Structure 1
């Protein structure tokens, strides 16, 4: 029963506003940065909680979420916390058809653009992150062109960031095996980083959050 309760909660609360409501209420100081995203961010907190604590970061990732779900959590999980930065890493679940239907990379990137606009309107500095070089979404084998979609997604996001003078964290290149695909020592499933992958990401990210 416990194992399926989060699924029921997510169906009843489409964006899962309640997941972090207690944690948000219990914060005693403004975080320097909110890391916003999906299972990668949620897993990051579990894999290396000391990174978040030591840097006054909070993680607000929810497994399986798409950019549209994350967008509507901006007020509850970012704006009300009044951080200096919001670090946005999401989009792979749109490519993985997690909404139950196809979502174009243009639409997914558009949701991130809206997140950036909301952040800036509230005095928060957005930092956007490329997708990793995922090439085999095992839970969605019918998506044969995931790597090509990742490349296109990153191109659009990088162009937007350049146009709007937003910091762009290029994890794709950082963790590439030379072909663009994520190096196998950084991920067992090509989608989610392992602790070695997270450590590489951490060292790189800190340079963007001075």
Structure 2
């Protein structure tokens, strides 16, 4: 009898240990992290103060910004620029990330590039008003925390390679850009015009500046860097 009890306890103990080991090997579930706050959390925690004479600027957006650092890392490394782009994100996700990835980093300025992924869907739920409302919320948060706001005219796009059935893409970008610029001017925010230097005769991106008609290549990013520097100088002064 004692032997049977001993064997039963041993079996239960082994089963419990196996279950614990199995649980410890399970991958952490981030399905509740809709805005991908986890992506930059460790980088934010490790971020050091800018060196003397440099002024921190956060680039908040989606794939255009995320790929920028991949294509030209020196541009960010040589300045106190913090890239917080996440591919595929829409404006409400940027708004959710705004406190962690912008306000808590204490930048002098934030560059907000939003709207293209919102408009790229074909579900009919997104309008210029919804995109602009999210941009307004981010701009108001920045102003409240004494962060200079730099808004962007979005890059020209004739069509989305992953959604070629979507009609009127170029006109939609132009319309949104006009509303962003009007809001920025009314509130004395700086505007970066990424549209004008990259646009072709179809109101898409010039072939020499893009990889797929949506995302710039290195030459395209070099063009963007020139107009970005002008806007940063205007917003926070030439000493960065």
SS state at 1:190 partner: coil
Q: Which residue of 2 aligns with 1:55?
A: 79
1:186 aligns with 2:209: yes
Q: Which residue of 2 aligns with 1:115?
A: 138
How many residue pairs were aligned? 202
Q: Which residue of 1 aligns with 2:95?
A: 71
Matching residue within 35, 53, 56 for 1:15: 35
Task: Answer whether contact 1:33 1:56 (CA < 8 A) is retained.
Answer: yes
Q: Which residue of 2 aligns with 1:82?
A: 106
Residue pairs, 1:23-172, within 5 angstroms:
23-30=43-50, 32-97=56-121, 102-172=125-195
Query: Larger radius of gyration, structure 1 or 2?
Result: 2
If the length of structure 1 is used for normalisation, what is the TM-score?
0.91
Task: Answer whether contact 1:134 1:190 (CA < 8 A) is retained.
Answer: yes
Task: Answer whether contact 2:158 2:203 (CA < 8 A) is retained.
Answer: no
SS state at 1:17 partner: coil
Task: Answer whether contact 2:142 2:149 (CA < 8 A) is retained.
Answer: yes
Residue pairs, 1:186-205, within 5 angstroms:
186-205=209-228
Deviation of the 1:95 alpha carbon: 0.5
If the length of structure 2 is used for normalisation, what is the TM-score?
0.80
Structure 2 alignment gaps of length 5 or more: 1-26, 234-240
Identify the range of structure 1 (34-43 vs 89-98) with the bigger mean alpha-carbon deviation: 89-98
Structure 1 alignment gaps of length 5 or more: none
Query: What do you get for the CA RMSD once the two structures are aligned?
Result: 1.6
